[in-house]
Amino acid sequence: MEPRLQAKLLRALQEGEIDRVGGGKPVKVDIRVIATSNRNLTKEVETGRFREDLYFRLNVVQLKMPPLRDRPSDIEKLSDFFARKYSKANSVTHRPIDGEALIMLQGHNWRGNVRELENAIHRAVLLATGSVLDSAAFMLEGMPGVDLAAPSRLAGVTSATSSAASGANTGAGDLVGMTVAEVERDLIIDTLSHCLGNRTHAANILGISIRTLRNKLKQYTGDGVSVPQPRENGRAIA
């Protein structure tokens, strides 16, 4: 926060009043502030980037939030919350997380803390095909990606370019002779088909940015590969 805004916040906390834009007189306010930062504010004060008087005004009660890996008991509640949130957002039935998957989540390092957990749950909601979110539905950092040699979890997907990523009879030998770029292309196309052409959902499953996905699809289209278009209830969206 720039120094000018720091001074305004200090006044609001200290005097309980603000100047409203376009107003002719100060407005009394009764507020309580919860502030958070990923910076060391003591050092910010020492370097002059943060006002010392504002720091002490804010620092009435200080809470230190440990990383997610140090509070595994929070993971179950957070995971259930995100599972419900993204089931509703994607219009799919809410499925509970099974015991084995929960143990796996509680033992993960979570370098990205809650944001990483949220993203992992979102992908699992989209990937899972059973009545629960099992460990097979999760793609975590440090774990192998989607196993192309195993029966596809993207059930019902028919690839227009290759069967390497789908079908119960697919074996590792089917990938021999394919380049990494070709395997990547087929996985991206199959995932996009599974998501009915929804670019955002496909990017979340694949763990890549929407911009990267769009660049890949533009490249495939230029190469003459058929790219699934956004669809809803089996019909193309205009």
pTM for the model stands at 0.51
Q: Give the pLDDT of residue 207.
A: 81
Q: Give the pLDDT of residue 150.
A: 43
What pLDDT, in 10s, does the model give residues 9-56?
999 999 999 888 888 899 999 988 898 887 888 999 999 999 999 999
Q: Which positions of the chain have pLDDT values less than 50?
A: 144-173, 233-234, 238
Residues ≥6 apart with Cβ < 8 Å to 191: 154, 202, 205, 206
Q: Give the pLDDT of residue 147.
A: 45
Cβ atoms of residues 139 and 207 within 8 Å: yes
Residue 133: strand, helix, or coil = strand
Q: Give the pLDDT of residue 49.
A: 93
Query: What residue type is 69 in one-letter code?
Result: R
Q: Give the pLDDT of residue 168.
A: 35
Domains of the chain: 3-58 (no CATH), 69-137 (1.10.8.60), 172-236 (1.10.10.60)
